[in-house]
Amino acid sequence: MRILTIDTSAVASAAILDFDPSNPVKTAEVVANFVTEDTRSHAEVLAPGVKSLFGDPITEGPALDAIVVGTGPGPFTGLRSGIAMARTLSFTWGVPLYGMMSLDALAHQVFDSPEYRNGVAVAPLAVRDFVIATDARRKEVYWAKYSAGAQLLDGPHVGPADDIFGVQVFGAGAGLYEEVLTANRCSVYEPFAQAQPTALELGRAAARKITAAGSLEAAGLLDSTPLYLRESDAKVPGPRKRALS
């Protein structure tokens, strides 16, 4: 099975992965990957980045089995860019489109990662419930709580880091508000304190869900409805007030 994944909840990213849903032992193969560190230029860089993944988009695009897009949470403009592109490609190529919460990408990455001490893997990184937190700007974080097995327990939410208590916290939100979290009896793992969701990790998480379920249809993936969690700052002007006569 070959899938294209797109995520713009933080950085602009896209990836193509191959995997066999009938073989849970074999990990997904990364065919191509694009990611930028810039968090504010999604509309300009995403289309060229996606195009660069294909030798011939006209023939290779319609041959995909699915497109999976990160649905956030994320800032309105950036998140909309990725979802709009995924919907356009799905319609143009006639390829099924699915959504997946972007924080799941980091949760599965944490689940896959061991803790190292002196260069030696000594234990799973997540040994109990943990939180993924990313930068929501305005001195807030997007966050969700997961079990040690990367199953969603609570969220997603948007709010101050001070709302999070007594858990391991991973992601760029943890790095930004480490002092606040530490004061709340949380622990921050420095190698993951700048981590952002990417399409590559989203694809790996999607491949795991599909393989565990046995098919795309049974995997419980979402639709492409965005999780903004906030309203857009742009407002439709109200009617003009009548001038006094």
Q: Dump pLDDT digits (tens) for 145-182.
A: 999 999 999 999 999 999 999 999 999 999 999 999 99
Q: Smallest Cα–Cα separation from 203: which of 67, 86, 72?
A: 67
What is the DSSP secondary structure assignment for residue 191, as one 8-state letter? G
CATH architecture, domain defined by 104-192: 2-Layer Sandwich (3.30)
Range(s) for CATH 3.30.420.40 in the chain? 2-102+196-213, 104-192
Given a cut of 50, the residues of the chain with pLDDT beneath it are: 234
DSSP run (H or E) holding 2: strand 2-7
Instruction: Give 2-102+196-213's CATH code, choosing from 3.60.70.12, 3.30.420.40, 1.20.120.530, 1.10.3720.10.
Output: 3.30.420.40
Q: How far apart are CA 53 and CA 17, in angstroms?
A: 11
- Predicted confidence at residue 24, as pLDDT, reads 85
Say what angle helices 102-112 and 199-213 make with each other, to 10 degrees.
80
- Predicted confidence at residue 116, as pLDDT, reads 74
Q: How far apart are CA 59 and CA 125, in angstroms?
A: 41
- Predicted confidence at residue 89, as pLDDT, reads 98
- Predicted confidence at residue 41, as pLDDT, reads 73
